[in-house]
Amino acid sequence: MKQKIALVFGISCLILNGLYGQKWSMKDSILLSLKNKPEFSGSLDGRQSYVLAQPVNIFGIRAGMDYKKTALYGGIYATAFTDALAQNSYKYFYLSATGEYRWYHTYRWQVNQTVQLGIGSADIKRTVDGEEQYYSKMIVPVETGVYASYRVWKFIGVAAGVGIRISATPGAYFSGSYWSGGLTFYADELMKILPRLSEQ
């Protein structure tokens, strides 16, 4: 019933919006969100990816401020893999800034879009004509993706996401698609109960 009321209310708002000639603006939505009192948020942010047609696991951890409709995070990411056939190895490490926008958000459901800009280094060993070559390069990965989650319990949910990563520095071999799936933990709920536990 509540969902039907919310749907009718949303459609009514759209109709009124059209009647008065006003247009919805993501910019206004973001600026309005940033006026909210932020809450600390942190989580693991690992994902699966393909680099040079090789499946790799990118480890990530992020923390930042949650403004309800939007969120801003800083994170650390790393991965390494070896192409055994070509005897090449690749190690990547980078820091990132992430902006998150929530297209849909209820207590249980959440659909987000993220835009991420990073800077870091790639240590690469390649074998060319039987000769090993070592070099390091700066990497500037630019990522965007869509992520959905469902809260099963107060502190735990399930989530999945897909996205694309483009390396702005040529020769770093770091462009590719990525995806993730598994359990998600709601750190904001844990932060709410910590003060109560400390009082006991």
Q: How confident is the model over 63-95, as pLDDT tens digits?
A: 999 998 999 999 999 999 987 676 789 999 999
**Alpha carbon distance 58, 45 (integer Å):** 9
This prediction has a pTM of 0.77
Does the residue 176 lie in any domain? Answer: yes
Does the residue 5 lie in any domain? Answer: no
Residue keyed to tokens 């003060």? 195
Does the residue 2 lie in any domain? Answer: no
Does the residue 136 lie in any domain? Answer: yes
What pLDDT score does 153 carry?
86
Does the residue 13 lie in any domain? Answer: no
Tokens linked to 155: 């502190």
Does the residue 161 lie in any domain? Answer: yes
Residue keyed to tokens 């973001």? 30
| Domain span including residue 75 | 25-199
Q: What is the CATH number of the domain that holds 94?
A: 2.40.160.20
Indicate the number of domains in the chain. 1
What pLDDT score does 9 carry?
42
Shortest CA distance to 44 belongs to which of 184, 167, 194? Answer: 184
Shortest CA distance to 41 belongs to which of 65, 21, 22? Answer: 65
Q: Is 150 in contact with 108 (CB distance < 8 Å)?
A: yes
CA dihedral 51, 57, 58, 64 (to 10 degrees): 140
